Chains A and B, each alone.
Chain A
Amino acid sequence: MVEKENPDSLNSLLENYEKQKTIDAAADWKQLRKRITSDRNKHLFLNYLRNAAAILLPLFLTYQYVLQPVLNRSGATKETVTVTSAPGMVTKTILPDGSEVWLNALSSLTYPQRFTEKDRTVQLSGEAYFKVVSDKKHRFNVETPDGMNVSAYGTEFNVNAYVSENHHEVTLAKGNVEVSAKESPQKEILSVGEKAVINLQTGNMSVSPADTYVETAWKDGKMVFRREKLDKIAEKLSRKFGVNICLEGDRLKEYEYTATFTDETLEDILDLLKRSAPITYSIFKQKQLDNETFTRREIIIKSK
């Protein structure tokens, strides 16, 4: 190692010693302590925030993804509302999303008190006219007991799905809808002025042009027939007036009528039908049953 005498080395050691003596370590320690303390407080605050987040975030997520769906499922979603329309009446109802529905006579509509699921789904039995509020994120589905499904985002359409009939019809007034039947992969997208007819026996679906005025006149209290067969007319009349109508003889069913009725009574209408075709009709009074209820009035139409 270097052991050579350097005349300055002792001098510099002594200088070093003297220089060190001039430095006030205690004062600078105070400065450093302040810095350490403020840094620690900053860290404590950040730690506090982090801990708070660590506790709150799982709570929030639990609420958002576990509790809320469960609460919704068990609570509001299961609570449904059913609106039923009596014979001869058109009932208008407004759904929770603001969509408007006109329910034709002897129809019922079931919908959730709040639309919380991905799709807005309602169940319909009978005939209804839907004016759906547009919501691109939530489909609007109409299901019928026979498994027909009408799906749309925001349109106006008429669904005719009376259980008693063997055809179901969907007529589109505005926008577009998708119609599908149960147990059938067939899906039809309707354009304005078209209607889909589903034959419930065969499950076949066909699309044809439709007169939306005729199909939807009922919601404005009108009965519009354009070359309508008598058996169809009888069915509509029986729903509107709450009576049973029987046609005697197959020939009758082939008669076609074109007419528009608004506030005519049942007798007025029957008289008009009688005048334009060779038929007669008879009305049977209501009968009281053993259990003190009454039967419907019965009307029999015969050919002359």
Chain B
Amino acid sequence: MKESDTLFDNLFRKVAFQDDEQAFKELFLEFYPALCVFAMRYITHEEIAKDIVQDVFFKIWKNRKNIDISASFRNFLITSVRNNCTDHLRKQEVENRYIEKNMLSAIHTSPEEVYTLKELETSIGEALAKLPPNVREAFEMSRFKGMTYVAIADKMAVSPKTIEAYISQALKTLRIELRDYLSFLLLFL
């Protein structure tokens, strides 16, 4: 993750110093989905959350010459999106006189992490690769295809009990493999 952070920081440097729009596009495509999901933790409405993230990117492009990134570009993005979400909620609060208290309080929990789609893809893929083929097949059917245990058992010609065992084995392995990501996630759940 730290290596990818230096990669992103370098891309941003290209944006700032060379007005490299291609680099900016790369950063956008990389982070946009993750940030939208992140913003949706504060703002339930998906379109508003997306608008906020787009705003953040727009401002970054506009102020690219003056932005001072002290930590990493990733942290900068997280902070910006969070602040914009807070601002939005405050404005809404004034409009509606209605506060989603736990939402506002969630804002104070730190640190937070955002993992890009690619990062998740790679790490989850790697974790899944460590599973025995049967276990993995059962897990993917349950998780990503939304099939019931009975349906999977039917398909794989084993008993639902076996599927249950497969799934819990898969979860156990994944928890170990993905613990770097999970320890962070714990905090805000």
Contact = CB atoms under 8 A, between A and B. Distances in A.
A16 B185 CA distance: 10
Nearest to A23: B33
Q: Interface majority SS on A: helix, strand, loop or mixed?
A: helix
Interface in A22-60: 23, 25-26, 28-29, 31-33, 35-36, 39
Interface stretch (B56-64, B89-97, B154-162): B56-64
Contacts of B40: 19
Nearest to A17: B120
A14 interface: yes
A13 B186 contact: no
B32 A25 contact: yes
Given A19-B37, A20-B117, A28-B50, A9 B32 contact: no
A292 interface: no
A18 interface: yes
A9 B182 CA distance: 6
A4 interface: yes
B124 interface: yes
A59 B113 CA distance: 57
Contact of A14 (B29, B57, B124): B124
Contacts of B181: 13
B33 A21 contact: yes
Contacts, number: 83
A16 B58 contact: no
A4 B186 contact: yes
A267 interface: no
Interface residues of B, number: 35
B104 interface: no
B124 A10 contact: no
Contact of A21 (B62, B115, B117, B175): B117
B76 interface: no
A18 B115 CA distance: 12
Interface in B41-71: 50, 54, 57-58, 61-62
A289 interface: no
Given A6-B186, A14-B143, A20-B117, A25 B61 contact: no
Contacts of A26: 29
A8 interface: yes
Given A28-B54, A31-B54, A10 B175 contact: yes
Nearest to B28: A29
B185 A18 contact: no
A254 interface: no
Nearest to A4: B186
A10 B178 contact: yes
A3 interface: yes
Contact of A29 (B25, B116, B174): B25
A106 to B, nearest CB: 80
29 contacts: A5-B175, A6-B185, A6-B186, A9-B185, A9-B189, A10-B178, A10-B182, A13-B178, A13-B185, A16-B34, A16-B115, A17-B121, A18-B144, A19-B37, A20-B33, A20-B120, A21-B33, A25-B32, A25-B33, A28-B50, A29-B28, A29-B29, A31-B54, A32-B28, A32-B57, A32-B58, A33-B25, A35-B58, A36-B61
- Across the A-B interface, give the 4 residue pairs with the lowest CB-CB distance, nearest first: A20-B33, A23-B33, A25-B32, A17-B120
Given A17-B124, A23-B36, A29-B25, 6 more contacts: A10-B178, A13-B178, A13-B185, A17-B117, A23-B32, A32-B58
Interface of A: 1-6, 8-10, 12-14, 16-21, 23, 25-26, 28-29, 31-33, 35-36, 39
